[in-house]
Structure 1
Amino acid sequence: MATIRQVQVTFDCAEPERLARFWCEVLGYEVPPVPEGFASWDDYNGSLPPEKRDAWFACSDPSGLGPRLYFQRVPEGKTAKNRVHLDVRAGTGLVGAERLAALEAERDRLVALGAVCERVLVADEENESCIGMQDIEGNEFCLD
């Protein structure tokens, strides 16, 4: 029998904490507790050498079911389409107009947080509706 491994999804980004907090709002995830001995993440970051400040941030599913998301600062910006993306399941169990309405409501919530809607794909004979989105740093993801 194969060993099951847990997965962490890592994002290269410009502003790790800002992007992590965005994804917390999208997924209902939580940020880790502030390191011991510090009153806030700002206090912790201020204690680090300048080159290590704001270099990473993480968030995780409070239920323990979803993967941990890790955000690491990199010097280069995003230049091409993601080769891997997250599908946010906002229409599970719904079909047709009911599914599209649920997806559009979630799209509107996420746009208010700074996400961008790229395209709405309406159901056809083969596929259900889904919505292509971008997060606050331009990473593609889908609402499905």
Structure 2
Amino acid sequence: MAKTIQITFDAADPRALADFWAAALGYVHQPPPPGFDTWDQALTAFGVPEDQWNSRSAIVDPDGVGPRIFIQQVPEGKAAKNRLHLDLRAAVGLQGEERMAALAAECERLTVLGGSLLYRVEPAPPMENGFITMADPEGNEFCLD
């Protein structure tokens, strides 16, 4: 049987981090279970205490192609550089100045959403096409490629 993957983030504020990644990726919040109009209704019906409603969140690709992203609350903050990170492919097929302009525009959009620019690597053919490294609102590194 073929396997699917889910990407999981640890976070202090799962709902806020889900909002950022949903906007960054064009994803949507996972809808509540059938029979409920909102997650608040579902969680109330399931008897989940209100202080735990933001303990997890999930976003999904509205086209059903990309992996589900699950965000879970943890008590500790991020302590070191990620060993695994996402690359957002924002300039596929573009080269040189056109590529870097597209990456810079995406960086600006994500900065408005709460991301942070960490550094930019200029193209140096033939080995480097250029990229921008950013951090999400909780400091998780990712690249614009």
TM-score, normalised with respect to structure 1: 0.91
Equivalent residue runs for 1:127-142 within 5 Å: 127-142=128-143
Tell me which residue corresponds to 2:116. 116
Residue pair 2:56, 2:70 contacting (<8 A) in 1 also: yes
Give the superposition deviation at 1:36: 4.4
Q: How many residues align?
A: 142
Equivalent residues of 1:12, 1:71 under 8 A apart: yes
Name the aligned partner's letter for residue 25 of structure 1. A
Q: Any conservation in 2 of the 1:81–1:140 contact (CA below 8 Å)?
A: yes
Within 2, Cα distance between the matches of 1:132 and 1:31? Answer: 25
The Cα shift of 1:44 comes to 4.2
Question: 1:56-105: per-residue Cα shift (whole Å, max 9, x none)?
Answer: 10001111211110000001110111110000000101011110000000
Shift of residue 32, structure 1, vs aligned partner: 1.3
Alignment of 1:8 with 2:9, yes or no, is: no
Question: Which blocks of at least 5 consecutive residues in structure 2 are unaligned?
Answer: none
Going from structure 1 to structure 2, the CA distance change for 1:21 and 1:133 (only over 3 Å counts) comes to same
TM-score (norm 2): 0.90
Identity %: 47
State the secondary structure of the residue aligned to 2:28: coil
Distance 1:36 1:64 in 2: 18
Q: Retained in 1: the 8 A contact 2:40–2:53?
A: no
Distance 2:35 2:4 in 1: 29
Partner of 1:30: 28
Q: 1:51 to 1:112 in 2, by over 3 A?
A: closer
Residues 37-46 or 122-131, more deviating: 37-46
Q: CA RMSD in A?
A: 1.6
The corresponding residue for 1:40 is 38
The 1-side partners of 2:72 and 2:105 are apart by: 30
Rounded to whole Å, the distance in 2 between the matches of 1:63 and 1:39 is 21
Change in CA separation of 1:4 and 1:34 when aligned onto 2, cut-off 3 Å: closer
Summarize deviations over 1:28-60 as a string: whole Å, max 9, x none. Answer: 001111344544334445552256331110001
In the aligned structure 1, how far is the partner of 2:128 from the partner of 2:82?
A: 22
Structure 1: unaligned runs, 5 residues or longer: none
SS in 2 for 1:132: strand
Alignment of 1:83-102 (within 5 A): 83-102=83-102
